[in-house]
């Protein structure tokens, strides 16, 4: 008999998203910054799950570094700039294990260090959505879209919030299509359940 696999959920651990850190001012191309305090929260209960210090140097032309300290963890990760097709540079982490560029690093529950998603392997970790059935994935997808668009609008008033001023129509229309696809999945699930209940 096959042994059941136990995979850790990535979202229950810690995440470093270099683009989000740049947007929040924690890292800055052309500058050395930090150390700054950083905290992670459980999104459901708004509880703090970890805190630490981060600092970074993006002063170099070919390489920089990112340092994170959380309790016993003191990890320095190489940063590299890559030329964009439309000009300028995009900075990336270099995964300490895979030695490849990535924008996001993960530290799943129980892990000692941050690594790229690929470095953890599909047998050891999974995204939260991979633990859900299709209906729950659809509910989760709709909630994520609503959370992205809602801004300061009343969430009880809107099933699908209107396009934010800063968003392009092309982007918003793609989001609406994805939202509608999730809705179709849920409607199909309801129809299937009703058929079972009515014995058809």
> How does pLDDT run across 64-80, given as a tens digit for each residue?
999 999 989 999 999 99
Classify residue 115 by burial, with Cβ atoms within 10 Å: 0-12, 13-18, 19+.
Answer: buried
β-pair partners for 107 = 14
89 in Cβ contact with 82 (< 8 Å): yes
Confidence of residue 5 (pLDDT cuts 50, 70, 90): very low
* Spatial distance between the Cα atoms of 66 and 86, rounded to a whole number of angstroms: 26
Confidence of residue 198 (pLDDT cuts 50, 70, 90): low
Task: Classify strands 73-83 and 89-94 as parallel, antiparallel or unpaired.
Answer: antiparallel
Residue with tokens 């910054």: 33
Express as a percent the part of the chain with pLDDT over 70: 77
68 in Cβ contact with 61 (< 8 Å): no
* Spatial distance between the Cα atoms of 173 and 31, rounded to a whole number of angstroms: 37
Q: For residue 9, what pLDDT is reported?
A: 63
Kindly state the tokens that stand for 63. Answer: 């390489």
The model's pTM: 0.61
> How does pLDDT run across 140-176, given as a tens digit for each residue?
778 788 777 877 767 677 788 888 888 888 988 888 8
Phi first, then psi: give them for residue 141, nearest 5 degrees. -65, -45
């Amino acid at each position: 008999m096959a042994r059941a696999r136990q995979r850790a959920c990535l979202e229950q651990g810690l995440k470093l998203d270099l683009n989000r850190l740049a947007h929040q001012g924690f890292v800055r191309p052309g500058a050395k910054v930090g150390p700054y305090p950083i905290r992670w929260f459980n999104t459901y209960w708004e509880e703090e799950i970890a805190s630490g210090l981060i600092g970074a140097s993006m002063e170099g032309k070919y390489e920089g570094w990112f340092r994170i300290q959380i309790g016993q963890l003191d990890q320095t990760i190489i940063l590299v700039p890559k030329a964009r097709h439309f000009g300028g540079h995009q900075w990336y982490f270099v995964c300490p294990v895979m030695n490849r560029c990535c924008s996001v690093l993960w530290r799943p529950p129980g892990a000692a260090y941050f690594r790229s998603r690929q470095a953890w392997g599909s047998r050891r970790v999974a995204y939260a959505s991979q633990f859900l059935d299709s209906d729950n994935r659809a509910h989760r997808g709709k909630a994520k879209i609503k959370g992205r668009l809602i801004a300061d609008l009343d969430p009880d008033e809107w099933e699908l919030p209107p396009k934010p001023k800063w968003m392009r129509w092309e982007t918003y229309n793609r989001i609406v299509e994805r939202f509608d696809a999730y809705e179709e999945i849920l409607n199909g699930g309801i129809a299937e359940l009703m058929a079972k209940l009515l014995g058809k």
